[in-house]
Amino acid sequence: MTADPSAETDSEFTPTGDLADYLFEALDDTAELTGRLCAIESVSGNERTITDAVAEVLDRISGGPGPDLEILRDADTIVARTQLGHAERIVVAGHLDTVPVEDNLPPRRTHLTGDDYTDEQVIWGRGACDMKAGVAMALVTAAAVREPNRDVTWVFYDHEEVDASLNGLGRVACSHPDWLSGDFAILGEPSNASVEGGCNGTIRVDVSTTGVRAHSARAFMGVNAIHSAAEVLRRLAEHETGTVSVDGLDYRESLSAVSITGGVAGNVVPDACTVAVNYRFAPTRSAAEAEGFLREFFSGFDVVVTDAAEGARPGLDRAIAQDFIDTLGLSPAPKLGWTDVSRFSALGVPAVNFGPGNPLYAHKSDEHVRVTEVEWATSALHSYLEGQ
């Protein structure tokens, strides 16, 4: 369905006065805070305003009735952590940036009816799902927790929605890895407020064929590189991807051609053709092992890696992660796509995706999140951190 708030809009979110005040005043209402965070436009590269406001909110939280927070900053990434001396540490992370606006600001609180909705209240607007609802969940919980049963690190980072080289979490992982140290990490990516453990890795390669160029009227004088690519496609079509169990979750792998390029002109036999292939591999394999598999799979052809990212084990075999699952009372599922949990896994920190919002609405013009889901996820995270 298309989420159209035009008919029944309860309220519109418009920033007023000091932005830190604007956010701080909503720390007792996660849905309200979600809308207010959305109202502060923060397309990737324009996070400074929202980062400054969130940093000030965290400073005020630190001065409140809960535990003090050590607040650290790297450009537009903020880390706030307790130092209570507990034996274990939880990291809760979320990104502050969004994809570009698409006529979906200012955000609104509205009702949706139809399909999967029964007159449900939602927060509608850019970032509501991906992932300012997750950020609101973290901030409200940070303000509400009085006696966490473990030390907690809160991370709010920039540039997640653009090139990986700009990612704030990745930047901090390289320059200040100790800021992200912990025993278990929760990434607030939208997951329908369910637990999606770890993630598949991903690698893209170009598989190329070569031939001999000739006039198409005398095709017998050349060697058609596009025809030669038929063998590449045959191997892909006949391959049956497997399912790999990791920490009790079944990760379905996939191997697909995602584009094919070649050809010179309508009357020329082409001498070059490239098939781009994407392999989503279970987190039991490293990216280097995935590359080795592809080179063997496409033996006889030229293979060039164009992009690769490691997968992440969910760590659900660890007691600290199982405690999270037990608290929520949910059955975890594998994350088949790639998320920043991989960056935690590379640091030796098992991680899961847990956040309000249906990922199918992420980046869409009708992006939204259910109010009930935002409230439940926040309550669940709070219960976990205080052992209630």
For the domain that residue 227 is a member of, what is the CATH number? Answer: 3.30.70.360
The Cα–Cα gap between 23 and 46 comes to 18
**Same domain membership, residue 297 and residue 189:** no
Domain housing 206: 201-309
Same domain for 47 and 164, yes or no, is: yes
pLDDT over 60 (residue 240): yes
Residues 249 and 151 in one domain: no
Residue 51 counted as domain residue: yes
SS3 state of residue 67: coil
Instruction: Evaluate whether residue 175 is within a structural domain.
Output: yes
Report the pLDDT value the prediction gives residue 387, as an integer from 0 to 100.
Answer: 79
Please tell me the total count of domains within the chain: 2
Its pTM stands at 0.87
Contacts of 238 (CB under 8 A, 6+ apart): none
Query: At which of 264, 285, 309 does a domain end?
Result: 309
Q: Residues 16, 19, 24, CA angle at the centre, nearest 5°?
A: 105
Domain boundary pick from 255, 282, 309 = 309
pLDDT in tens, 98-121: 999 999 999 999 988 766 767 789
Mean pLDDT of all residues in 227-256: 95
Same domain, 207 and 321: no
* Residues catalogued as catalytic: 97, 160
- Quick count: other Cβ atoms within 10 Å of Cβ 23? 24
CATH number of the domain where residue 21 is located: 3.40.630.10
Q: Identify any residues that bridge with 92 across adjacent strands, giving them in sequence order.
A: 154, 186
- 280 plus 138 within the same structural domain: no
Whether residue 251 is found in the same domain as residue 113: no
**Residue 260 pLDDT > 60:** yes
pLDDT of residue 315: 85
Q: Look at residue 146 and tell me if it is in a domain.
A: yes
Last residue of some domain: 309, 326, 351? 309
Q: How confident is residue 337, by pLDDT bands cut at 50, 70 and 90?
A: confident
Report yes or no on 1 lying in a domain. Answer: no
Tell whether 208 and 295 lie within a shared domain: yes
Please report whether residue 3 resides in a domain: no
269 in the same domain as 169: no
Is 170 in a helix, a strand, or coil? helix
Pair 138, 84 in one domain? yes
Residue 7 pLDDT greater than 60, yes or no = no
Average pLDDT over residues 314-335: 89
DSSP H helices in the chain:
19-24, 30-39, 48-62, 133-144, 168-175, 225-228, 230-238, 287-297, 319-328, 341-346, 371-386
Task: Write down the pLDDT at residue 341.
Answer: 93
Average pLDDT over residues 2-21: 77
Tell me, yes or no, whether 195 and 207 share the same domain.
no
- Domain assignment present for residue 2? The answer is no
Over the chain, what is the mean pLDDT? 93
Q: Are residues 180 and 304 in the same domain?
A: no
What pLDDT, on the 0 to 100 scale, is given for residue 94? 98
Q: What is the pLDDT of residues 261-270, one digit of tens each?
A: 999 999 999 9
What's the pLDDT at 1? 43
Residue 40 per-residue DSSP state = S
- Please check whether residue 108 lies inside any domain of the structure: yes
278/337 same-domain check: no
Quick check: is 4 in a domain? no
Mean pLDDT of 312-326: 88
pLDDT band at 327 (very low <50, low <70, confident <90, very high): confident
Question: Judging by DSSP bridges, how do beta strands 108-114 and 117-124 pair with one another?
Answer: antiparallel
